[in-house]
Amino acid sequence: EAQVTQNPRYLITVTGKKLTVTCSQNMNHEYMSWYRQDPGLGLRQIYYSMNVEVTDKGDVPEGYKVSRKEKRNFPLILESPSPNQTSLYFCASSLSVQGGNQPQHFGDGTRLSIL
Amino acid sequence: QQQVKQSPQSLIVQKGGISIINCAYENTAFDYFPWYQQFPGKGPALLIAIRPDVSEKKEGRFTISFNKSAKQFSLHIMDSQPGDSATYFCAASFGNQFYFGTGTSLTVIP
């Protein structure tokens, strides 16, 4: 089954404790992206990747890091999480490097709570 | 600054009625306008999308109307069903960057 898998689905942690949210897709997609969803703000793009070793900032990259060492994986790293990063996070992928013109397939989300 | 403005925030429609959600944008560089549907506990899923060289696109009960000069686009759901109850997001993109609206929570009453 074609899918985007995120782990963990839920995480409660404390300020300053480094964490990684993993994202993996099995569709051989070139483009991958991370979003955060907050009430009243919709989804906002954090980072995206057009291919292995190629990443770029989205609209709200502050406080986040990403890496793309393999085509299928695109982890989101919070080096020193803060309470304002409490949110629902989504990973997405699409077939083409021109991700903006292709349908994106989303994971089911990771709910992060940072105390 | 919200790149894509969406309204209304919530919408209640009777079964069989028409649901209309509106979005507006400012950046004329946007060249792809998708709509996503999201159910609770799930990620958004592409519903329908349009490019700016087309004024209307229809897929089943779902239609996008696009007004390039007004920089507005809307989603029309005909014969709305209770199963359509979900949150709907419009979006706009250029290059590899995506901008989403704030979402509309649609409730279809049986």
Radius of gyration, CA atoms only, chain B: 13
The Cα B15–Cα B77 span in angstroms is 11
Enumerate chain A positions whose Cβ falls within 8 A of a Cβ in B. 4, 31, 33, 35, 40-45, 48, 50, 56, 58-59, 90, 92, 97-101, 103-104, 106-109
* DSSP-based three-state secondary structure for A84: helix
CB proximity B89 to A under 8 Å: yes
Of the partner residues A4, A100, A107, the one whose CB lies closest to the CB of residue B98: A100
Mean pLDDT across chain B = 95
Of the partner residues A31, A42, A103, the one whose CB lies closest to the CB of residue B49: A103
Min distance A66 CA to chain B CA atoms (Å): 16
Q: What is the pLDDT of residue B78?
A: 98
pLDDT at residue A99 tops 60: no
For residue B49, which amino acid is it? A
Q: What is the pLDDT of residue A97?
A: 61
Tokens of A98: 């021109």
Tens-digit pLDDT profile for residues A29-66 = 999 999 999 998 999 999 999 999 999 999 999 999 99
Query: Which residues are within 8 A (CB) of B48 and not within 5 positions of it... i.e. 6 or more apart?
Result: B34, B35, B57, B59, B62, B63, B64, B75
Min distance A42 CA to chain B CA atoms (Å): 4
Q: What is the pLDDT of residue A102?
A: 78
Tens-digit pLDDT profile for residues B55-90 = 999 999 999 999 999 999 999 999 999 999 999 999
Strands (DSSP E) contained in chain A are 4-7, 10-13, 19-25, 31-38, 42-51, 54-57, 65-66, 76-78, 87-94, 105-106, 110-114
pLDDT category at A103 given cuts 50, 70, 90 is: confident
- Mean pLDDT score, A15-23: 97
- Mean pLDDT score, A58-78: 97
pLDDT at residue B99 tops 60: yes
The Cα B59–Cα B39 span in angstroms is 20
